[in-house]
Structure 1
Amino acid sequence: MTDRELLSRLSSAPEETLAALSARYSPLAAAIAGRLLPGRQADIEEVAADTLIAIWKHGDTLDPDTLRGFVITTARNLAIDRWRQLRRRDEVPLFDHDGADSDFLEREVLSSALADYIRTLSPPDGEIFLRHYLLLETAAEIGERYGLTESAVRARLHRVRQTLQREVPR
């Protein structure tokens, strides 16, 4: 059955259709959640289930041609939200790696051009950028840490992104 057929049957046969959608998209949602929530099987399953609930709630407005993208985006956002909740309660570490965080970031996450650029930023802009985009901290959390308003953090992030688009080769 195609995504178009599944979405059209969602209101008339919800149990059967959700079972088919689950078989098709739960593994994808779980895989995405697993990258952000490694070793937290209950949280991964919850993200996958919540992704299906989102399909059910928005089924009448979803485009069948972009359903896979909706699942990917929804699962990612739900997993990030869950990770942030766990992080606030100190239930997940920032990193599961030995060694300095900055070494891990350079070696595993950042391209050398991006790492070089971030090293040139005046403090605390580089740290703000890393905390927001890699550690998934909110602008409010970062502002609290550095004594800045949320809008000031967002403005700094905006300036860094603009400069990054101009200066860092892709």
Structure 2
Amino acid sequence: MDDSRIVELYWRRSGDAIAETSRKYGGYCYAIVYNLLSSARDAEECVNDTWLGAWNSMPDNRPQYLAPFLGKIARSLAFNRFRAGRAEKRGGGELPLVLEELGDCVPAAPSAAQAVEDGELEAEIGRFLHTLPPRDCGIFLRRYWYGESLAEIAKRYCLKLNTVKTSLYRTREKLRRHLEQEGYAL
């Protein structure tokens, strides 16, 4: 079923909306959350909460592209789960590493929290990503959006592990400089 029909099911408040969403995007959302938390139980709970989040937000939103809409909800839930401390007890997944790597090129709280709430930082990072070559952008997104391990990224792009590390380092440095030029205090 295409996205517009699934969104229409949400708008009609049909129970089929969740079943269709789960069928089409269950694996996608599960992969995002599992990569970040490394806990099957937490991933399943976050995915189920993603469907609830979509259900609750659909009357106000009509997303044109359902995958990124659901991915954003799933990621947010994974970060919330991590902050609650449960993920740390079960291994932590890639999230601690991802947050540590981005620490030097994304503004620190509370200004970052405010900027993210306003959507400004998110939009600025999006603009930055559009300036990157496709491979560099893909590597960056695989690591920091999907939470994939360095080894998974290297395998996906048929690269050496050190090449992936170097690409990520250089892209983070470019992002840091870009954000500084745009007035974000790092």
Q: CA deviation at 1:69?
A: 1.0
The separation in 2 between residues aligned to 1:11 and 1:95, in whole angstroms, is 35
- 1: distance between equivalents of 2:42 and 2:101? 22
Matches of 2:84 and 2:6 in 1, distance apart? 33
Partner residue, 1:19: 19
Q: Report the number of matched residues.
A: 119
Distance change (3 Å), C-alpha of 1:11 and 1:161:
same
* Cα separation, partners in 2 of 1:92 and 1:132, compared to 1, 3 Å: farther
SS of match in other structure, 1:82: helix
Higher relative contact order (CA 8 A, sep 6+): 2
Please show how residues 1-170 of structure 1 align to structure 2 within 5 Å.
1-12=1-12, 14-38=14-38, 40-86=39-85, 90-93=88-91, 131=100, 133=102, 164-165=177-178
Q: Which has the larger radius of gyration?
A: 1
1:2 maps to amino acid: D
Distance 2:179 2:57 in 1: 38
Q: TM-score, normalised by structure 2?
A: 0.49
Q: Is the 8 A contact 1:10 1:59 kept in 2?
A: yes
Could you say what secondary structure the match of 2:76 adopts? Answer: helix
Displacement of 1:59 after TM fit? 1.5
Deviations 1:73-112 (A, max 9, x none): 111111111112126x85145678xxxx9xxx7xxx7xxx
Question: CA 1:61 to 1:2, structure 2 compared with 1: closer, same or farther past 3 Å?
Answer: farther
Per the alignment, do residues 86 and 161 of structure 1 end up closer, same or farther by CA in structure 2, a change over 3 Å counting?
Answer: farther
The unaligned stretches of length 5 or more in structure 1 are 110-129, 141-149
TM norm structure 1:
0.53
SS class of match (1:63): coil
Distance in 1 (alpha carbons) for counterparts of 2:175 and 2:25: 36
- Residues 33 and 74 of structure 2 are in contact (CA less than 8 Å); yes or no, is this contact kept in structure 1? yes
Distance 2:21 2:82 in 1: 25
Contact 2:33 2:43 in 1 (8 A): yes
Identity %: 28
SS of residue paired to 1:44 = helix
Deviations, residues 31-87 of structure 1 (Å, cap 9, x unaligned): 00011111x111000111111111111112333422211111111111111112126
Deviation at 1:14, TM superposition (A): 2.1
Equivalent residue number for residue 139 of structure 2: none
Residue identity matched to 1:61: D
CA RMSD in angstroms comes to 3.9
CA contact (8 A) 1:26 1:52 kept: no
